[in-house]
Amino acid sequence: MKYIEKLRKSGLRPTKQRLQICEVLFDTERTFHFTINDLVKKINEKLNHKISLATVYNTVHAFEKKGYLKQIPINSNQTYFDTNISDHHHFYDLKEEKLIDLENSDVGPINIFKKIDGKKIKSVEVLVKLED
Amino acid sequence: MKYIEKLRKSGLRPTKQRLQICEVLFDTERTFHFTINDLVKKINEKLNHKISLATVYNTVHAFEKKGYLKQIPINSNQTYFDTNISDHHHFYDLKEEKLIDLENSDVGPINIFKKIDGKKIKSVEVLVKLED
DNA sequence: TTACTACTTTATAATGATTCTAAAAAGGTG
DNA sequence: CACCTTTTTAGAATCATTATAAAGTAGTAA
Ligand SMILES: [Mn+2]
Ligand SMILES: [Mn+2]
Ligand SMILES: [Zn+2]
Ligand SMILES: [Zn+2]
């Protein structure tokens, strides 16, 4: 399996559950945005059995910490994650409640003129809210 | 009181609780960011009695709907609000877990080249995460 | 293979922010 | 005041997320 090495390199044991979650998350044509609930549904569809909810949470957080997933800041009662870990921005369709990627070429360069002493910029994220 | 008219114009009855919350939120030198919990603490400090939690939630949401408060999208278990309703962006200090305003002059113009059919841009918000 | 240890999974309970409920209180109007 | 609507409130309910702790598994070295 191609994910075994990836997990080992990260210091994560390649367990059955983690490998199966890798398949659901990363064996896709396109990247996508999801909540934990979305992911549990995908797992139940793709596999014919369940992975415990605690494991799904644990795994997603482990993957996020290792940089294989990104969390998207958005006002929702649920946390949104992204399998697209490149630097990029988002549309948020308020009616559909769906995120849409804005690739870097879709957004002009962003200049931040203000500086805070002793702090470095870690990331710059743009959220563009869409209405009808 | 200066807030009575403001509330009346919005179709909100100027109740004692709403006026007191107005004082805590808007009788300040500077705008600020807060969670519901922060606000409850401020109310308990400024006034010598409590306003029920449900009323604080109701009022904040009513004010947000009327445009007197903004919600700031951020990854937190609590919802952050802003008394600065101008178009502006934010630093988020990851260690302090504090928002810092970026005025429009602190950020260069932002160009979004992508369009989605039938959708209009409602807002563009930049979140700049800071680390040490 | 076996034994050992650390890590992982799991069911379940706990937490905590937010929302709901429905009855009491207060505002607006005449 | 009398009437009606809106608002407040305490408390319960909801629900995403995290914690717990016992059972299972992976890695490793004898
Ligand atoms: Mn969802
Ligand atoms: Mn706070
Ligand atoms: Zn994305
Ligand atoms: Zn602000």
Three-class secondary structure assignment of B49-98:
CCCCHHHHHHHHHHHHHHCCCEEECCCCCCCEEECCCCCCEEEEECCCCE
Residues A128 and A101 in one domain: yes
| Closest chain B C-alpha to A120 CA, distance in angstroms | 5
Residues B99 and B73 in one domain: no
Residues B48 and B73 in one domain: yes
Per-residue pLDDT at A1:
66
Residues A96 and A45 in one domain: no
| Token output for B123 | 């807002």
Mean pLDDT of B8-18: 96
Residue nearest to nucleotide D15 (CA to C1'): A77
What is the CA(A76)–ligand 3 centre distance, in A?
16
pTM over 0.85: yes
Residues B21 and B77 in one domain: yes
Residues A43 and A55 in one domain: yes
Mean pLDDT of B49-66: 97
Give chain A as a DSSP string. Answer: -HHHHHHHHTT----HHHHHHHHHHHSSSS--EE-HHHHHHHHHHHSSS---HHHHHHHHHHHHHHTSSEEE--SSSS-EEES--SS-EEEEETTTTEEEEE-GGGB----B----TT-EEEEEEEEEEEE-
pLDDT tops 70 at residue B97: yes
pLDDT band at B1 (very low <50, low <70, confident <90, very high): low
Mark yes or no for CB contact A130/B116 under 8 Å.
yes
Burial A65-104 (b: 16+ CB within 10 A, else e): eeebbbebbbeeeebbbbbbeeebbbbbbeeeeebbbbee
Residues B47 and B73 in one domain: yes
Residues B11 and B42 in one domain: yes
Residues A9 and A66 in one domain: yes
Per-residue pLDDT at A54:
97
Beginning with the edge strand found earlier in the chain, give each strand of the sheet holding A89-93 in spatial order: A98-102, A89-93, A120-131, B120-131, B89-93, B98-102
Nearest to B125 by CA among B68, B97, B85: B85
Output the average pLDDT for chain A.
94
- List the single residue in A109, A120, A132 with the smallest CB-CB distance to B119: A132
Which of residues A84, A107, A124 is at a domain's end?
Answer: A84
Report pLDDT digits (tens) over A63-106: 999 999 999 999 999 999 999 999 899 999 988 889 999 998 99
Which residue range forms the structural domain that includes residue B5?
A: 1-84
Residues A61 and A117 in one domain: no
Distance (Å) of CA A65 to CA A112, A116, A127, B76, B104:
26, 25, 22, 16, 32
Specify the number of domains making up chain A. 2
pLDDT band at B96 (very low <50, low <70, confident <90, very high): confident
Which of residues A49, A65, A84 is at a domain's end?
Answer: A84
pLDDT tops 70 at residue A108: yes
Residues A47 and A104 in one domain: no
| Token output for A79 | 């946390």
Residues A45 and A94 in one domain: no
Decide which of A62 and B87 is more confident.
Answer: A62
Nucleotide nearest to A50 (CA to C1'): C10
| Closest chain A C-alpha to B56 CA, distance in angstroms | 18
Per-residue pLDDT at A2:
87
Handedness of CA B125, A129, B131, B80 (dihedral sign): positive
Q: What is the CATH number of the domain that holds A56?
A: 1.10.10.10
Mark yes or no for CB contact A74/B73 under 8 Å.
yes
